[in-house]
Structure 1
Amino acid sequence: MDTSILLKQLVPKVFSPEESVVANNSPTIAMSSSIKRHAKLWELSETYHCPIIGTCLSISDLEKFARSFNFTASLRNEFALHVETVNRVSTRNEVSKAIHKFLNKKYQTYVTDFEVARSDTDVLALWRKYSIHGEVAGALWAGFTHKAASNETRKIIYADMHMLSHQVGAGQATDMRRLARLEKENTEIKFALKQQQQQQTRNEVRLRKQLHATESELENLRQSGNEVAVLRARIAALESGVAMVEMGQRLMSLTMANEQLQMTSERVSTLAKLLETTNNKAAILLRERNMLVSEKKTLEQFLLTKNTPDESKRKSLLPHMHSMRNSCILCVGGRITLLPQYRMLAEQLGIRLIHHDGGQQKALSRLHSMVDSADAVICPTDCVSHAAYYQLKRHCRRTGKRCLLFKGASVSGFTTALATLSSDPTNVSRSAIKCVPEIIEK
């Protein structure tokens, strides 16, 4: 297929008056605000077909339709598949009807949510609500085909999608810069930790020497105490006033020395406690550093996999994660604001991610059915309710569903959790189901 010719048929016409005319001069149905039914895919302006096909259909979806309807484009040429699909849905035919039906089923939840919109303004408000949270694909389809959406609203949605594509590219560049900054910070932390360990070793040697010296002083103090007792006995026996004065002076000197030694002993005890506290803090910092290094390596492998066009190289970078493609993973809890990033990571790995918020807005009664429908379950224990945590744990143990309970609801923690989940040599969809013992008990 000549993709350059197909591309010319996709020239944007958002703000031109010829929206109702297709490239082959065949008439299309002009969408009017007076039509009180949902728009069909082929009834929409050709301009909107490109963002709909590119956003709402995955590459695997395009390949499925290409095989079913004998596309002329090569299955290895993703752009050619996209262009041919866009051209085929410009009129009513078997391909456009099948894709329209598929999109309605795929994004049924969003179509149902948009049913509450009664006016053009309501449709635009719902689009912006979902797009802010990163739920773009379903909201795009529901907004474009809504019966109350006007051409002006569709133009605004199209413009938002256009700008969003630029922002996504800029965001990837920002992530790469952030990764470089994190690597630099990690190197600095390693160097600072090494220096701190060396300083701690020197302090420990110095404190041990002080401790030995203090123990010697304590032993001398005990001997001095014995001498005091002997001197007191001699003082009582002496009758000479001069001798008693001399002995009294000596006693006072020994008493002061005894007090000084006791103060030194207390200081040594304080230093020993401080040393123990410092060792504990250093151990905690070391564990945190190891965890950050592990998360950084996982993110590095993921980014390398994402930016590597060669399929065999991607398999070698994340071999276990590659085996999880086409699996269904349920995420219970986590940060709602990071859910779009969770979904993006899962989609990049070919994983279908479903989410339950742990009872914040979704009922806990749905949790069992969602667990049963998933191949495996992950749950950040530091960002989920107690009720959802214990209910999920009991159900997974009872049913044998594989469940990974981990600490850390960040994007890097989520990526590390997927890597941990995929480290089992058996396939996720057929693996023996178990609960991971390294969890944080609430």
Structure 2
Amino acid sequence: MQSPPFQLARTSAHVRPDACCQPTEASLRASHRRSRLAELDPHLHCSIIGTCLSTGELRKLVPKFTDLDRHHASDLEIHHAAVELAIAGGAGAKALNKALDERYAGAIRRFDTARDPAALLDLWNEALKSGDIPPAYWAVMSHPHATIDVRQSAFGELHMLSHLVGAANRADIRRLVALEAENQALREKIDRQQARLLEVSAERDAAARQLHEQALHIDRKPGATPAQLEAEVERLREKVEDGERRLALHTSRREAAEQRAQQEENETRVLRNRLGEAHALLKVVQAECAALERATLDAADRPDARERAVQWVSGKRVVYVGGRPNSNAVLKSLVAAAGGELIVHDGGIEDRKGLLAAALPNADVVLFPVDCIDHDSMSMLKRVCERHGVEYAPLRTASVASFVEFVARLTASAQATPASGPPRSAFCLRHG
């Protein structure tokens, strides 16, 4: 696997350097202590927290160390704050580390049997085959024998799995419909079983009363021999036991059906949330395609159609952080043709980050694609822009379509209300 497309962040003075970033692996093999979350490379925190901790757990833990409201903050804000706590170290990172260790104590003990990187990779591959990924991912990343290659392999395979999950949205929608139908059928079956249990209970009570009356009748029956009495008692006892067995059978079936219905309801809720996220992403992509298509089709009738599509940038200075070289060159020429200036900074891969901080105060707006920028650069952008009162907004991707769609909205907003600034983007500040 290739290295992530960003420069490794520099650790601060109060954070111990990650063991995988040491110049040699000899010291790593000599260490018998598991790595803590704050000691890992900051670029691994996003995948660890997003994969190994649920949103419900983060909503209980993160507000204790931040000013976020656990009831009103979005899932993205909770995740973003958790990543920043892990990067900063301190009490928040310790609490996250403790939550991971307690939740995956079994997986950690299982992976402790690995005494070298090869054995560790074997355990990780077994976990991939079984689908038990979150416990194995934390156990691998924090293992004392996890080398750079081991962590890169685990990170890359998890990254590709995320692409497969995104491609499975349509299958999830079909499964959601099937699960809802199955859930309704199970509920109807439970209702029928509960009605049957009530009937069986009534039958058992009636049989018990009948047996009691028969026993009283036998006691009053003259001339009954002890052998006849014992045979009658044995017959009545077998009848009672048969009724109890039938009742236990129906009770176990009802409990199993209720458990299955609860599991299906939980899966339905998760798939419904995924469906909402897929619809939201679809709307964003459709808006980008429509904006790019308008700019492309109008170019046949009006030579300046593409410049009119980004008319808002005329006379303005736009800072664009991150992105890809090919698309950045197209964006720069497009803005220049519209009479604006686009300052491109790669976020610190080749350009120094100090130049970025110096360029932001003179900008009219700062844009950055969330798929081509790291957490460290994003956090620094937010702090500097808020300090100098500069508008900033995320773009869904580093594509030309995302840029054109966002600037088209700025153009429409400026024409409707010329005195207002750029509209606040509804796009996610971290992952889209």
RCO higher in structure (CA 8 A, sep ≥6): 2
How high is the TM-score relative to the length of structure 1? 0.46
Larger Rg: 1
How high is the TM-score relative to the length of structure 2? 0.47
